[in-house]
Structure 1
Amino acid sequence: MCGRYVMARAIGDLVADSGALEPDEELVLPPNWNVAPTSDVPVVLERAEPASGTKTRREIHVARWGLVPPWAKDLSVGSRAFNARSETVTEKPTFRAAVKARRCAVPVDGYYEWLKPEAGAPKSAKKRPFYIHPEDGSPIYFAGLYEWWKDESVPEHDPARWLLSCTILTGASPDATDVEAARAEGVDQPGLNALEQLGGLHDRLPLPMDRDTLDAWLEPERLGSAEAAGALVDRVRRQAFRTASGWILDEVGTAVGNVRHNGPELIEPLETLL
């Protein structure tokens, strides 16, 4: 799963890397080395150009992390919907409309995951946090969904009446069979090692996208059925491990477990290895 992540690069850098247009108004998000659910985060999405009917424009917006569907009575739904299981996303009421029509990418520098003590370990053994990030320093684009929610308690012409929110899709982490499949596809040994480490770290993985998959995922076409949406989700899952094979895992200090701690020191690796 993805419960905390890092996004420390400037909006302008994301615009350049993602191919998005410059925002019409200035977007300011301070660097955040400990992004938690319900925080404001950047999202990348595409919209159809109304005038042309065929062209699209890629945009960056700021959204609340934790999807709030239009039918929700209040924001509390979002605190439980910061991740969406890809296996059931086309069926769950919270996500099934968004996956057909409101897909986005959530850019991150990396994310944190905690390794539980092994079975039989002493009771004093603690969970160990790891920072997972691309070895080349490029951003990760997680497959996501977005929704607009209307706050009926806010006056009609107040911009605060509308809330943009998002979620991140997750899938099963790679197992031994997936690692062997990646080997057959030509993934090198460091990449295979990364997949093995990811599989041993947690049973769920936030789903990253390569550039071709990103383009397909962001296409603003409204899909006509759950089957069509499921086929697109399957495409994301099929390439996720190859994309993740370019990541490295660094053990970091336990300070990341407290959201009051926020700074670049959180991602400094410890000397120990997974």
Structure 2
Amino acid sequence: MCGRFTITDPLDAIMDRYYASIADGFEYKPNYNAAPMQYIPTIIGSKNGNRLGSLRWGLVPVWAKDDKIGNKMINARAETLAEKPAFKRLISSKRCIIPTNGFYEWKKEGTAKQPMRILMKDDRLFSLAGLYDTRTDPDGNKLSTCTIITTEPNSIMEDIHNRMPVILRPEDEAEWLGRDNDDVQSLLALLKPYQASEMRAYEVPKEVGNVRNNTEGLIKEVG
């Protein structure tokens, strides 16, 4: 699964990377421990170009009776997207990118678990593939939420965990965000493990396990 990540680049750098303008009401600050049920930066394609805004992490389908379902829908398996009621109708029209510069995963070491940070070798921003939805409750309040798609691990990840988030190749990002693209089969073909040779992983402090901790010290290499 993918349950924590970092997004710490300057706002201007994120906007430049995605040729994005800021959505109304969007506020940004670096996050060293982004966690489910938080509002996270997301990129959505629009008729006026890419928009950088925020969605709450943990998908709440439009038909959900209760928004607490989002706790259980932080990830969506790429292999079964086209079958699951919560996800299959979103692939063709409600896709997003979650920008990040690294994600966390816990590696089992005997009875203990060691948190690891996984990122690009050159520390650059990269794109996690996501889906989003907007639910309106009985009082008319709207809630926009998202989920991160996961796939099988590459060789970097297989020693750490049996899943990894889908990282889009830069050349595939426009196709994923394209508003006019509803070719589900070609979109599903983008959801594969990222090239391991471009990635690295290192041990980080165990304090990352507490969502209340959110400082630069969490991304320091230990061991």
TM-score w.r.t. the length of structure 1 is 0.77
Q: Structure 1 residues 26, 70: CA separation in 2 closer, same or farther (over 3 Å shift)?
A: closer
Deviation at residue 2 of structure 1 after TM alignment: 0.6
Equivalent-residue separation in structure 2 for 1:75 and 1:205 (angstroms): 25
More helix by share: 1
Query: Which amino acid in 2 is paired with 1:249?
Result: A
- The residue correspondences of 1:197-216 to structure 2 (distance < 5 A) are 197-216=156-175
Deviation at residue 222 of structure 1 after TM alignment: 5.7
Equivalent-residue separation in structure 2 for 1:96 and 1:200 (angstroms): 30
Deviation at residue 231 of structure 1 after TM alignment: 3.2
Q: Which residue pairs with 2:116 in the alignment?
A: 130
Contact 2:44 2:96 (C-alpha < 8 Å) held by counterparts: yes
Query: Which amino acid in 1 is paired with 2:126?
Result: I
Secondary structure of residue in 2 paired with 1:79: helix
Q: Which residue pairs with 1:269 in the alignment?
A: 221
Q: Structure 1 residues 264, 98: CA separation in 2 closer, same or farther (over 3 Å shift)?
A: same
Q: Which residue pairs with 2:129 in the alignment?
A: 143
Deviation at residue 24 of structure 1 after TM alignment: 5.2
Equivalent-residue separation in structure 2 for 1:64 and 1:167 (angstroms): 9
Output one character per residue of 1:61-99: Cα deviation in whole Å (capped at 9) or x when no partner: 110001111101121111111100000011101111111
Q: Which residue pairs with 2:33 in the alignment?
A: 34
Equivalent-residue separation in structure 2 for 1:25 and 1:148 (angstroms): 16
Q: Which residue pairs with 1:254 in the alignment?
A: 206
Contact 2:169 2:194 (C-alpha < 8 Å) held by counterparts: no
Overall identity of the aligned pairs, in %: 32
More strand by share: 2
- The residue correspondences of 1:239-250 to structure 2 (distance < 5 A) are 240-242=193-195, 244-250=196-202
Deviation at residue 26 of structure 1 after TM alignment: 5.2
TM-score w.r.t. the length of structure 2 is 0.94
- The residue correspondences of 1:24-63 to structure 2 (distance < 5 A) are 25=24, 27-49=26-48, 57-63=49-55
Q: Which residue pairs with 1:23 in the alignment?
A: 22
Alpha-carbon RMSD across the aligned residues, in angstroms, is: 1.6
Deviation at residue 236 of structure 1 after TM alignment: 2.9
Equivalent-residue separation in structure 1 for 2:6 and 2:173 (angstroms): 20
Equivalent-residue separation in structure 1 for 2:146 and 2:10 (angstroms): 20
Q: Highest Rg: 1 or 2? A: 1
Equivalent-residue separation in structure 2 for 1:35 and 1:205 (angstroms): 16
- The residue correspondences of 1:229-244 to structure 2 (distance < 5 A) are 229-237=184-192, 240-242=193-195, 244=196
Equivalent-residue separation in structure 1 for 2:89 and 2:11 (angstroms): 28
Q: Structure 1 residues 24, 129: CA separation in 2 closer, same or farther (over 3 Å shift)?
A: closer
Secondary structure of residue in 1 paired with 2:212: coil
Structure 2 residue runs without a partner (length 5+): none
Secondary structure of residue in 2 paired with 1:116: strand
Contact 2:23 2:51 (C-alpha < 8 Å) held by counterparts: no
